[in-house]
Amino acid sequence: MTAAFSTLNEFRSLLTSAPAPDAKALGEAEERNAQLTKPPGALGRLEDLAIWYGSWRGNPRPEIANPQVIVFAGNHGVTAQGVSAFPAEVTEQMVLNFQHGGAAINQLSRAAGAKLSVHALDLDTPTADFTQGPAMSEDEVVAALLTGWNAVDDNTDLLVVGEMGIGNTTSGAAILNALYGGEAADWVGRGTGVDDAGLANKARVVGEGLAANPDRAGLEVLRCLGGRELAAMAGAIAKARVARIPVILDGFICTAAAATLVAESDDALDHAVAGHVSAEAAHFNVLKNLGKEPLLAMNMRLGEASGGALAINILKSAVACHSGMATFAEAGVSEA
Ligand SMILES: Cc1cc2ncn([C@H]3O[C@H](COP(=O)(O)O)[C@@H](O)[C@H]3O)c2cc1C
Ligand SMILES: O=C(O)c1cccnc1
């Protein structure tokens, strides 16, 4: 199989030439929604979600049969700066836990009726410490994007991506600081639970990371300040955009990775909704910048795709109502 892309520029071209949603299916889904046996608008955001989903699938009466959750794992050189409450070896230990079915995401995927795939990316070779220069070379970031791109199953009709990588809330904060500006302190949070001194240290590290990587825009931000699992999430989300597979975004780190795609192409996340707003302090602001209203606010701060997986049943329920309900004419119910 030839690779879908072998440079960042080729990846960019695929992203910027991705198809729009299906206008005909959109119109027909709106028409169907107006005929269903309920007062207009009574299902609130569920109605918008179902119409949005149908427009991306090119089907005004869609179903969700094959949701896929993918967790990508990577190690970060920046952990040498003491940015996490947990040691770096937890990344690999948690991958084993995912494989044995013992993590939160195993239970949440099963409860959502979703297939779970796990990809560990070069855990023995952490990215470079980004306070010293770029975290990844172009070859490394392209390889990670490709891992994500290729991880999406052909028959997937709803995608959720998430991550495991000790230190990656610092990477996410650095990406967001680079994309949106402001102070490092605006973007760092407690991650796995660092104390006030730990939070100040993370702000220092983000500041040094931006200073050590001065020439950056769009995907270069991902290369310089990201990590392999963040790039893989971006690659999977981009593949879904090209294949018109709707996506539910997870928390802070997933959203930071996704935001680098918007920096390349304004409509790169039109096929994505925000599954939840994480308790990681800055997640709310990223979602505001992206114009995404979260489906859930559960005070979760785990990552692993957990918040996205929890939202799968909301989307499934929206589509079940839209496609399964009777119309006024079919049910013989009088209209207003
Ligand atoms: C046992 C355990 C399971 C996790 N599952 C997700 N994370 C989350 O915590 C990490 C980010 O936080 P920080 O930047 O503070 O290291 C990521 O691996 C994220 O997925 C976990 C963290 C731990 C300790
Ligand atoms: O929102 C997230 O993705 C998150 C927050 C804290 C720790 N790990 C992940």
Calculated CA dihedral for residues 81, 83, 88, 92, nearest 10 degrees: -140
Q: Which two tokens stand for residue 260?
A: 């680098």
Q: Is the pLDDT of residue 13 over 90?
A: yes
Q: What is the pLDDT of residues 277-303, one digit of tens each?
A: 999 999 999 999 999 999 999 999 999
Q: Which of 63, 220, 304, 335 is catalytic?
A: 304
Pair 182, 227 in one domain: yes
**Single-letter code of the amino acid located at 144:** A
- Which atom of ligand 1 is nearest to 91's Cα? 18
Q: 45: CA distance to ligand 2 center in Å?
A: 25
Distance from Cα 86 to the centre of ligand 1, integer Å: 8
Q: Is the pLDDT of residue 29 over 90?
A: yes
Active site residue 304: yes
Do 187 and 122 belong to one domain?
A: yes
Question: Burial level of 336, CB count in 10 A (0-12/13-18/19+)?
Answer: exposed
Residues 13 and 136 in one domain: no
Mutate to test the pocket of ligand 1, among 118, 164, 225 (most ligand atoms within 8 A of CB): 164
Q: What is the pLDDT of residues 78-115, one digit of tens each?
A: 999 999 999 999 999 999 999 999 999 999 999 999 99
The count of structural domains within the chain is: 2
> How much is the average pLDDT of 124-136?
98
pLDDT at 216: 83
Q: Does 128 map to a domain?
A: yes
Q: pLDDT at position 215, please?
A: 80
Please give the Cα distance from 165 to 121 (Å, whole number). Answer: 10
Is residue 109 domain-shared with residue 183, that is, in the same domain?
A: yes
CATH number of the domain where residue 287 is located: 3.40.50.10210
pLDDT at 1 over 80: no
Alpha helices in the chain (DSSP H): 8-16, 23-35, 45-57, 90-100, 104-111, 138-151, 168-180, 196-212, 219-225, 228-242, 252-262, 283-290, 306-310, 312-324, 328-331
- Residues for the chain: how many in total? 336
C-beta 51 within 6 A of ligand 1: no
**Res 268 pLDDT > 80:** yes
Query: Which residue range(s) make up the domain with 184?
Result: 67-315
Q: Residue 261 phi/psi, 5° resolution?
A: -70, -40
User: pLDDT-derived band of residue 313, with 50, 70 and 90 as boundaries?
Assistant: very high
193 and 44 in a common domain: no
Which protein residue has the closest C-alpha to ligand 1 atom 7?
A: 302
Looking at all shown ligands, the one closest to residue 274's CA atom is: 2
- Ligand nearest the Cα atom of residue 171: 1
> CATH number for the domain including 44?
1.10.1610.10
- Amino acid present at 17: S
Residue 273 has pLDDT above 90, yes or no: yes
Strands 67-73 and 158-164: parallel
Is ligand 1 within 6 A of the CB of residue 81? no
Q: Which ligand is nearest to the CA of 258?
A: 2
